Structure 1
Amino acid sequence: MSLTAADIMTKSVLTAKPDDTVAAVARLLSEHDISAVPVCDSRGAVIGMVSEGDLLTPVGAESTARRSRWLTILAEGTDLASDFVHYIGIGNRRIGDLMVKPVITATADTPVPQLADMLVRHHIKRLPIVQDGRLVGIVSRANLIRAFARNPDAVVEPP
Protein backbone atom coordinates (compact mmCIF):
# COMPACT_ATOMS: atom_id res chain seq x y z
CA MET A 1 0.00 0.00 0.00
CA SER A 2 1.32 3.44 -0.93
CA LEU A 3 2.04 6.10 1.60
CA THR A 4 -0.01 9.29 1.62
CA ALA A 5 0.68 12.90 2.49
CA ALA A 6 -0.58 12.24 6.03
CA ASP A 7 2.16 9.63 6.50
CA ILE A 8 5.07 11.87 5.51
CA MET A 9 3.99 15.50 5.98
CA THR A 10 5.43 17.92 8.49
CA LYS A 11 2.51 18.67 10.79
CA SER A 12 3.92 21.63 12.68
CA VAL A 13 4.08 24.30 10.00
CA LEU A 14 5.30 27.84 10.51
CA THR A 15 3.19 30.36 8.60
CA ALA A 16 3.08 34.04 7.74
CA LYS A 17 0.13 36.42 7.60
CA PRO A 18 -0.42 38.69 4.58
CA ASP A 19 0.19 41.79 6.73
CA ASP A 20 3.56 40.53 8.03
CA THR A 21 6.50 42.60 6.85
CA VAL A 22 9.22 41.31 4.58
CA ALA A 23 11.69 41.85 7.41
CA ALA A 24 9.60 39.79 9.85
CA VAL A 25 9.29 36.88 7.42
CA ALA A 26 13.00 37.06 6.57
CA ARG A 27 13.73 36.71 10.31
CA LEU A 28 11.29 33.77 10.57
CA LEU A 29 12.96 31.93 7.68
CA SER A 30 16.44 32.66 9.01
CA GLU A 31 15.76 31.76 12.64
CA HIS A 32 14.14 28.44 11.72
CA ASP A 33 16.48 27.58 8.83
CA ILE A 34 13.61 27.10 6.38
CA SER A 35 13.29 28.41 2.84
CA ALA A 36 9.56 29.19 2.55
CA VAL A 37 6.29 29.47 4.45
CA PRO A 38 2.63 29.33 3.54
CA VAL A 39 0.75 32.60 3.97
CA CYS A 40 -2.55 31.99 5.77
CA ASP A 41 -5.57 34.14 6.48
CA SER A 42 -7.14 34.45 9.93
CA ARG A 43 -9.11 31.20 9.41
CA GLY A 44 -6.00 29.18 8.58
CA ALA A 45 -6.71 28.98 4.85
CA VAL A 46 -3.63 29.03 2.62
CA ILE A 47 -3.77 32.15 0.44
CA GLY A 48 -0.18 32.28 -0.79
CA MET A 49 3.39 31.04 -0.45
CA VAL A 50 6.50 33.09 0.11
CA SER A 51 10.04 31.81 -0.35
CA GLU A 52 13.56 33.15 -0.01
CA GLY A 53 13.52 33.85 -3.74
CA ASP A 54 10.36 35.93 -3.42
CA LEU A 55 12.01 37.99 -0.68
CA LEU A 56 15.06 38.62 -2.87
CA THR A 57 13.10 39.91 -5.86
CA PRO A 58 12.52 43.47 -4.59
CA VAL A 59 16.12 43.72 -3.36
CA GLY A 60 17.71 43.13 -6.77
CA ALA A 61 19.38 45.93 -8.71
CA GLU A 62 16.63 46.07 -11.34
CA SER A 63 13.88 46.54 -8.74
CA THR A 64 15.94 49.09 -6.83
CA ALA A 65 16.54 51.16 -9.98
CA ARG A 66 12.85 51.02 -10.94
CA ARG A 67 11.84 52.10 -7.40
CA SER A 68 14.32 54.99 -7.56
CA ARG A 69 12.86 56.16 -10.90
CA TRP A 70 9.33 56.09 -9.50
CA LEU A 71 10.37 58.02 -6.39
CA THR A 72 11.99 60.68 -8.59
CA ILE A 73 8.79 60.98 -10.62
CA LEU A 74 6.65 61.17 -7.48
CA ALA A 75 8.88 63.78 -5.88
CA GLU A 76 8.82 66.06 -8.95
CA GLY A 77 12.03 67.76 -7.85
CA THR A 78 11.11 68.07 -4.17
CA ASP A 79 12.15 65.99 -1.18
CA LEU A 80 9.78 63.21 -0.17
CA ALA A 81 8.78 63.00 3.47
CA SER A 82 11.17 60.72 5.33
CA ASP A 83 8.21 58.85 6.88
CA PHE A 84 6.95 58.06 3.38
CA VAL A 85 10.36 56.87 2.19
CA HIS A 86 10.67 54.70 5.33
CA TYR A 87 7.14 53.32 4.84
CA ILE A 88 7.87 52.10 1.32
CA GLY A 89 11.22 50.59 2.31
CA ILE A 90 11.77 46.95 1.43
CA GLY A 91 11.69 45.73 5.03
CA ASN A 92 8.32 47.37 5.59
CA ARG A 93 6.61 45.88 2.53
CA ARG A 94 3.83 43.43 3.28
CA ILE A 95 4.15 39.75 2.41
CA GLY A 96 0.71 39.88 0.81
CA ASP A 97 2.31 41.98 -1.94
CA LEU A 98 5.08 39.45 -2.64
CA MET A 99 3.45 36.08 -2.04
CA VAL A 100 2.88 33.66 -4.88
CA LYS A 101 -0.73 32.82 -5.56
CA PRO A 102 -2.74 30.80 -6.28
CA VAL A 103 -1.18 28.01 -4.26
CA ILE A 104 -1.03 24.40 -5.42
CA THR A 105 -2.24 22.26 -2.50
CA ALA A 106 -2.98 18.62 -1.77
CA THR A 107 -5.03 16.74 0.80
CA ALA A 108 -3.84 14.39 3.53
CA ASP A 109 -5.02 11.33 1.57
CA THR A 110 -3.08 12.22 -1.60
CA PRO A 111 -0.76 9.29 -2.45
CA VAL A 112 2.98 9.97 -2.42
CA PRO A 113 3.44 9.26 -6.16
CA GLN A 114 0.81 11.89 -6.94
CA LEU A 115 2.55 14.36 -4.59
CA ALA A 116 5.81 13.78 -6.46
CA ASP A 117 4.06 14.31 -9.80
CA MET A 118 2.56 17.59 -8.55
CA LEU A 119 5.92 18.92 -7.37
CA VAL A 120 7.58 18.08 -10.68
CA ARG A 121 4.72 19.21 -12.94
CA HIS A 122 4.31 22.57 -11.22
CA HIS A 123 8.05 23.17 -10.62
CA ILE A 124 7.51 23.70 -6.90
CA LYS A 125 9.44 22.56 -3.84
CA ARG A 126 6.65 22.10 -1.31
CA LEU A 127 2.92 21.42 -1.11
CA PRO A 128 0.70 22.72 1.67
CA ILE A 129 -1.67 19.99 2.83
CA VAL A 130 -5.19 21.19 3.50
CA GLN A 131 -8.28 19.71 5.07
CA ASP A 132 -11.64 21.48 5.14
CA GLY A 133 -9.94 24.54 3.67
CA ARG A 134 -7.36 24.83 6.46
CA LEU A 135 -3.64 24.10 6.58
CA VAL A 136 -2.85 20.81 8.35
CA GLY A 137 0.70 20.14 7.15
CA ILE A 138 3.24 20.53 4.39
CA VAL A 139 5.10 18.08 2.16
CA SER A 140 8.48 19.11 0.79
CA ARG A 141 10.79 17.37 -1.63
CA ALA A 142 12.87 16.40 1.41
CA ASN A 143 9.86 14.62 2.95
CA LEU A 144 9.48 12.60 -0.24
CA ILE A 145 13.17 11.71 -0.40
CA ARG A 146 13.19 10.60 3.25
CA ALA A 147 10.11 8.41 2.65
CA PHE A 148 11.76 6.86 -0.40
CA ALA A 149 15.00 6.23 1.51
CA ARG A 150 13.13 4.49 4.35
CA ASN A 151 10.90 2.31 2.20
CA PRO A 152 11.21 2.55 -1.60
CA ASP A 153 8.35 0.11 -2.22
CA ALA A 154 5.91 2.12 -0.13
CA VAL A 155 6.22 5.24 -2.25
CA VAL A 156 5.64 3.59 -5.61
CA GLU A 157 2.15 3.27 -7.04
CA PRO A 158 1.29 -0.44 -7.47
CA PRO A 159 0.92 -1.58 -11.11
Structure 2
Amino acid sequence: MLAKITVADYMSKRLVTLTKDTEIIDAVNKLLDHKITSAPVVDQVGRLLGMFSEKDVMSIVLETAYNQSMGGKVGDYMTKEIISVDGESSIVDLAEKFQQTSVRSFPVFEDNELVGIVSRTDVLRALASIH
Protein backbone atom coordinates (compact mmCIF):
# COMPACT_ATOMS: atom_id res chain seq x y z
CA MET A 1 0.00 0.00 0.00
CA LEU A 2 2.67 2.52 1.04
CA ALA A 3 4.77 1.71 -2.05
CA LYS A 4 1.91 2.93 -4.27
CA ILE A 5 1.94 6.41 -2.76
CA THR A 6 4.01 8.84 -4.82
CA VAL A 7 5.99 11.91 -3.85
CA ALA A 8 3.52 14.03 -5.84
CA ASP A 9 0.71 12.84 -3.57
CA TYR A 10 2.26 14.54 -0.52
CA MET A 11 4.66 17.22 -1.78
CA SER A 12 3.98 20.89 -1.17
CA LYS A 13 3.04 22.55 -4.44
CA ARG A 14 2.95 26.08 -3.06
CA LEU A 15 6.62 26.95 -3.28
CA VAL A 16 8.22 29.65 -1.17
CA THR A 17 11.23 30.65 -3.24
CA LEU A 18 14.24 32.90 -2.85
CA THR A 19 16.66 34.45 -5.31
CA LYS A 20 20.43 34.44 -5.00
CA ASP A 21 20.26 38.19 -4.35
CA THR A 22 17.88 37.92 -1.37
CA GLU A 23 19.42 39.42 1.75
CA ILE A 24 20.19 36.83 4.43
CA ILE A 25 17.94 38.37 7.09
CA ASP A 26 15.04 38.50 4.61
CA ALA A 27 15.58 34.84 3.74
CA VAL A 28 15.70 33.82 7.41
CA ASN A 29 12.50 35.74 8.08
CA LYS A 30 10.82 34.07 5.11
CA LEU A 31 11.73 30.61 6.44
CA LEU A 32 10.37 31.57 9.86
CA ASP A 33 7.22 33.26 8.55
CA HIS A 34 6.29 30.23 6.45
CA LYS A 35 7.43 27.67 9.07
CA ILE A 36 9.65 25.87 6.57
CA THR A 37 13.14 24.42 6.90
CA SER A 38 14.38 25.25 3.40
CA ALA A 39 13.47 27.08 0.23
CA PRO A 40 14.48 26.68 -3.41
CA VAL A 41 16.68 29.43 -4.83
CA VAL A 42 15.57 30.21 -8.37
CA ASP A 43 16.57 32.54 -11.19
CA GLN A 44 14.26 34.94 -13.07
CA VAL A 45 12.69 32.13 -15.12
CA GLY A 46 12.17 29.78 -12.17
CA ARG A 47 15.16 27.54 -12.82
CA LEU A 48 16.58 25.98 -9.66
CA LEU A 49 20.00 27.34 -8.67
CA GLY A 50 20.27 25.88 -5.19
CA MET A 51 18.57 25.38 -1.85
CA PHE A 52 18.77 27.62 1.21
CA SER A 53 18.14 25.79 4.47
CA GLU A 54 18.42 25.93 8.22
CA LYS A 55 21.77 24.19 7.86
CA ASP A 56 23.04 27.05 5.69
CA VAL A 57 21.87 29.48 8.36
CA MET A 58 24.01 27.65 10.95
CA SER A 59 27.09 28.61 8.90
CA ILE A 60 25.93 32.21 8.98
CA VAL A 61 25.41 32.10 12.76
CA LEU A 62 28.96 30.84 13.27
CA GLU A 63 30.40 33.39 10.88
CA THR A 64 28.42 36.17 12.58
CA ALA A 65 29.69 35.11 16.01
CA TYR A 66 33.30 35.38 14.86
CA ASN A 67 33.00 38.49 12.69
CA GLN A 68 30.41 40.36 14.77
CA SER A 69 28.39 41.25 11.68
CA MET A 70 25.79 39.58 9.54
CA GLY A 71 25.52 40.35 5.91
CA GLY A 72 25.49 38.81 2.53
CA LYS A 73 23.11 37.29 0.12
CA VAL A 74 21.51 33.87 -0.21
CA GLY A 75 23.73 33.09 -3.21
CA ASP A 76 26.79 33.31 -0.95
CA TYR A 77 25.51 30.58 1.41
CA MET A 78 23.03 28.39 -0.46
CA THR A 79 23.72 24.74 -1.16
CA LYS A 80 24.46 24.38 -4.86
CA GLU A 81 24.80 20.58 -5.01
CA ILE A 82 21.14 19.70 -5.30
CA ILE A 83 19.66 16.30 -4.62
CA SER A 84 16.21 16.21 -6.16
CA VAL A 85 13.44 13.66 -6.52
CA ASP A 86 10.93 12.87 -9.22
CA GLY A 87 7.27 13.45 -8.44
CA GLU A 88 6.40 9.93 -9.56
CA SER A 89 8.89 8.28 -7.18
CA SER A 90 7.40 6.17 -4.43
CA ILE A 91 7.24 7.52 -0.91
CA VAL A 92 9.20 4.40 0.16
CA ASP A 93 12.07 5.32 -2.19
CA LEU A 94 11.91 8.83 -0.77
CA ALA A 95 12.15 7.51 2.80
CA GLU A 96 15.24 5.55 1.80
CA LYS A 97 16.76 8.70 0.29
CA PHE A 98 16.07 10.62 3.50
CA GLN A 99 17.80 7.89 5.49
CA GLN A 100 20.94 8.27 3.38
CA THR A 101 21.31 12.03 3.90
CA SER A 102 20.88 14.73 6.52
CA VAL A 103 18.82 16.81 4.08
CA ARG A 104 15.34 17.55 5.47
CA SER A 105 13.59 18.37 2.19
CA PHE A 106 14.11 17.83 -1.52
CA PRO A 107 12.96 19.80 -4.55
CA VAL A 108 10.58 17.79 -6.72
CA PHE A 109 10.80 17.72 -10.51
CA GLU A 110 8.44 16.48 -13.18
CA ASP A 111 9.51 16.69 -16.83
CA ASN A 112 12.59 18.71 -15.81
CA GLU A 113 10.40 21.37 -14.17
CA LEU A 114 10.44 22.31 -10.48
CA VAL A 115 6.93 21.48 -9.26
CA GLY A 116 7.20 21.20 -5.49
CA ILE A 117 9.17 20.39 -2.40
CA VAL A 118 8.86 17.33 -0.19
CA SER A 119 9.98 17.01 3.42
CA ARG A 120 10.45 14.33 6.02
CA THR A 121 7.16 15.47 7.55
CA ASP A 122 5.43 14.64 4.28
CA VAL A 123 6.68 11.06 4.60
CA LEU A 124 5.18 10.94 8.10
CA ARG A 125 1.85 12.19 6.75
CA ALA A 126 1.91 9.49 4.07
CA LEU A 127 2.53 6.80 6.66
CA ALA A 128 -0.27 8.10 8.87
CA SER A 129 -2.67 8.14 5.93
CA ILE A 130 -2.65 4.36 5.53
CA HIS A 131 -3.90 3.73 9.05
Same fold (TM over 0.5): yes
Across the aligned residues of Structure 1 and Structure 2, the Cα RMSD in angstroms comes to 1.9
The answer to whether the aligner puts 1:125 opposite 2:104 as a matched pair is yes
Q: Which residue of 1 aligns with 2:25?
A: 23
State the 1:64 CA deviation.
Answer: 4.1
Moved over 4 A (4+): none
1: distance between equivalents of 2:81 and 2:58?
20
Q: Which residue of 2 aligns with 1:90?
A: 70
2: distance between equivalents of 1:55 and 1:33?
15
Q: Which runs of 5+ in 1 are unaligned?
A: 69-88, 153-159
State the 1:133 CA deviation.
Answer: 2.9
**Deviation by residue 1:70-110 (Cα, 9 ceiling, x = unmatched):** xxxxxxxxxxxxxxxxxxx524x110110012110011111
Q: Which residue of 1 aligns with 2:113?
A: 134
Give the share of equivalent positions with the same residue, in percent: 33
The answer to whether the aligner puts 1:45 opposite 2:56 as a matched pair is no
Aligned residues of 1:119 and 1:127 also touching (Cα < 8 A): no
CA gap of 1:105–1:124, structure 2 versus 1, over 3 A, is same
Report the residue type matching 2:45 in the other structure: R
The answer to whether the aligner puts 1:113 opposite 2:115 as a matched pair is no
Aligned residues of 2:37 and 2:104 also touching (Cα < 8 A): no
Aligned residues of 2:64 and 2:70 also touching (Cα < 8 A): no
Report the residue type matching 2:51 in the other structure: M
SS of the residue corresponding to residue 90 of structure 1 reads coil
- From the two aligned structures, give the one with the greater helix fraction: 1
What TM-score, normalized to structure 2? Answer: 0.87
State the 1:52 CA deviation.
Answer: 2.0
2: distance between equivalents of 1:47 and 1:27?
20
2: distance between equivalents of 1:63 and 1:33?
23
Structure (1 or 2) with the larger CA radius of gyration: 1
Report the residue type matching 1:108 in the other structure: G
The number of aligned residues is 129
